Chains A and B, each alone.
Chain A
Amino acid sequence: MGIVVKKKSAFKGLLLPENKITAKKTTEILPVPEKVTIPLQQSIGAPCEFIVKRKDMVKAGQKIADSTSYVSAPIHASISGKVSKIVKVVNPVTSTIMDAVVIESDGEERWVELKKLFDIKKSDDFSGLKKIVNSIGKKEILKKIREAGVVGLGGATFPTHVKLNPPPDKKIDTLILNGCECEPFITSDHRIMLEYGRQVLAGLYIISRTITPENVYIAIEDNKEDAIRCLEELIIKMEFSSIFKLVSLKSGYPMGAEKTLIKTITGRSVPIGGLPMDVGVIVNNVATSKSVYEAVIESRPLVDKVVTVTGAIENPKNLLARVGTTIGYLIDRCGEVGSGTNYIIIGGPMMGISIVDTDFPVTKGTNCVLVKEGKTQIEQNCINCGRCVDICPMKLIPLTYVRNVKRGNFEVCREYYIENCIECGSCAYVCPANIPIVGYIKTCKSTIAKNNG
């Protein structure tokens, strides 16, 4: 033992009831649905354009949309079948309207040809794996990652090949693998670490080859002891102990947020409006790491995603779902929804977004579907108690945002650094007056963005 380092959080973490009811449930592979709806914008950056037409036959893993812009990721068909129509869907996260392609399954599961360089599930020849990785050049790795459409799966969906290719004036010395998963209910990353630990570590090795950092940390909250133990054993077995450092963090919300995680592990603060690479750090999610492994070694594009379906439902499950499967299909596979539930939330209870339409598909950024009974809370006036100021992990003053948004002074909020808010929801959770503070902040942010074009 002894490769695990313990660390306390650098901010006042919020202690939430964990409710991780699916933590012990093995991931089930979801049967292929009859049709999938694949939105064309699933990552930050330029939206993609179709390269298939109506009535085209596509194979699973075939590229169906791409963009010439650098900050973008291509999109692949997740099942084989016929492109039946092109529709428009409303993205509940950004409330923008985007194109989506509907593919009807032919039930045959034909895949594009996948060149497997190494079989990690069966083979224990890890030095052979390292040799294979070392033989692929950095440019080749980044190209493969882009071609597979890998994006940051922690929620922000930033294209990974852009993240792993920082401008030359930014020296990256630290790489952090984020396995914190601090939100209640969600267990998808937890299960990935337990079930796909080998792929995650191999993916991390590939990532560390592209940016050659001095320190590589694997950060996991201390409430997931089995994951820590599992990865610890694997690190020793795969002989990564000289380069990877396993860090056990004291659990507290929002530990998994990029900026707070960097502050806790390295002590550095990301500048206002800046990116982690400004302080020499790159953070990647465990699911991203797994996808990077699949992209580079197995040349398999990102077409499926571990999604936790949980909450007031008969059989909460972790499901490996194809991108484009509708949320309703996922919920149907998990039994009956409890009586009195009125909310379906994509994401966790703190940062998730409630949807009104169960036809919305699973996208690359979806990691949880939460079915929940919510009470309508009556918003009262702010009493200036300052609890939100006390709990804010970014050390902001949330109450000023509420006050100014109510008056319509959106520009004033910028003087209080509203762009630094990570929308973690801690302030709204502790607010005794039930003010939906994050809602006000999001309204303000998108209004400012619209006003500035």
Chain B
Amino acid sequence: MGMGLIIIILSAIGIVCGILIFLVNRFLPKEPQSLKKSEEISVHLPGVNCGACGFPGCFAYAQALAKDKNTFFSNTCAPILQEPGMLKDLEKILDIEVDPSKINKKAVVRCYGNSSVIGNYSGIKTCRAATELLDGYKKCPYGCLGLGDCMAVCPNGAISIDEEMNVVVIDPDKCTGCGLCVKECPRGIIQLVPANANIVYLCSYESLKNIPGRERCDKGCLHCKKCFRACENGAIIWNEEKAIPEFDFTKCTLCGKCIEACPHDRLIELSNVALKEKADILKDK
């Protein structure tokens, strides 16, 4: 008797549940279209979850792209720009056109390195601590501290410390221009420049912040405007407020006159893109 009752109750529950599942499947709306699409998109993303786009991981980015494909231009995925094949697939799926040379960027540490110090720093070995506790241990308030906070956040291992010059160096070939190091640097001396920039300027010293006792480093910008005057193509714009040069790379013809004019060796440099270009020109000749 008991056994029969149990079987009846259990099968009744099973039948009711089965009907419920059928009804839900029949009448509730189907799986949202956007979820399916974002899954599709996420396959074509690099999947490194670096977070450079501003979203928590590649899937969240894919969801945002599914909602509005123009997100790609406002919050660009930096690593995919380095992979032409993947980028093509993504372009096809999103139905957009991307010119990687226009948005592709890379980070540059705007410090020559080896600037003079005011004392030995033996505190916590991070740039942030050195800045917050001592305003840095270098005379220049814009000098790279070389303790490697940026190195720790770089998802591509593009940053290394040059022990000899006491400065961090970013490998332009590995850098994807994600900008995480720019946010991390407590001194704000890492800058994103167009990847095809042909001139690199290696100082961030603004003349406004002149402090006795930590005047300036002997290798920094003198604010002499010589480079500005030497340029014949109007590619150098003088920023009066900060008293440092800014470059318009579209007008630059790689003549190198600003480099010759600069009284400091190596402050203005040709980037490795330009160096390659120049080598090609020489080869053709």
CA distance A376 to B213 in the complex (A): 25
B67 within 8 A of A: no
B15 within 8 A of A: no
Contact partner of B212 (CB less than 8 A), chosen from A88, A356, A379, A443, is A88
CA distance A92 to B125 in the complex (A): 18
Mask, B187-222, CB within 8 Å of A = 1, is 000000000000000000000011111100000000
CA distance A442 to B131 in the complex (A): 11
CA distance A440 to B126 in the complex (A): 10
CA distance A95 to B128 in the complex (A): 13
Cβ–Cβ contact A357 & B123, under 8 A: no
Closest CB-CB distance, B109 to chain A, in whole Å?
20
Closest CB-CB distance, A38 to chain B, in whole Å?
15
CB nearest to B134 among chain A residues: A95
Contact partner of B133 (CB less than 8 A), chosen from A357, A376, A442, is A442
Residue total for B at the interface (Cβ-Cβ under 8 A): 22
Cβ–Cβ contact A90 & B211, under 8 A: yes
Cβ–Cβ contact B213 & A357, under 8 A: yes
A215 within 8 A of B: no
Mask, A364-401, CB within 8 Å of B = 1, is 00000000001010010000000000000000000000
Residue total for A at the interface (Cβ-Cβ under 8 A): 22
B2 within 8 A of A: no
Q: Which of A422-453 contact B (CB under 8 A)?
A: 436, 439-440, 442-443, 446-447
Contact partner of A443 (CB less than 8 A), chosen from B129, B137, B214, is B129
B74 within 8 A of A: no
20 contacts between A and B (CB under 8 A): A88-B210, A88-B211, A89-B212, A89-B213, A90-B135, A92-B134, A95-B131, A95-B134, A97-B209, A357-B213, A359-B213, A379-B125, A436-B124, A442-B132, A442-B133, A443-B124, A443-B126, A443-B128, A443-B132, A443-B133
CB nearest to B186 among chain A residues: A447
CA distance A436 to B124 in the complex (A): 7
Cβ–Cβ contact A87 & B212, under 8 A: yes
Closest CB-CB distance, B143 to chain A, in whole Å?
14
CB nearest to B120 among chain A residues: A342
Cβ–Cβ contact B124 & A447, under 8 A: no
B122 within 8 A of A: yes
CB nearest to B123 among chain A residues: A439
Mask, B110-143, CB within 8 Å of A = 1, is 0000000011101111101101111101000000
Other contacts beyond A95-B131, A443-B132, A446-B132: 17, CB < 8 A:
A90-B211, A90-B213, A92-B134, A95-B132, A95-B133, A95-B135, A356-B118, A357-B118, A357-B119, A359-B213, A374-B122, A436-B123, A439-B123, A440-B124, A442-B132, A443-B126, A447-B132
Contacts of A442 in B (CB 8 A): 132-133
Cβ–Cβ contact A356 & B119, under 8 A: yes
CA distance A97 to B136 in the complex (A): 12
Contacts of A95 in B (CB 8 A): 131-135
Pairs A-B, 9 closest by C-beta atoms: A356-B119, A95-B135, A446-B132, A443-B129, A443-B132, A439-B124, A356-B118, A88-B211, A87-B212
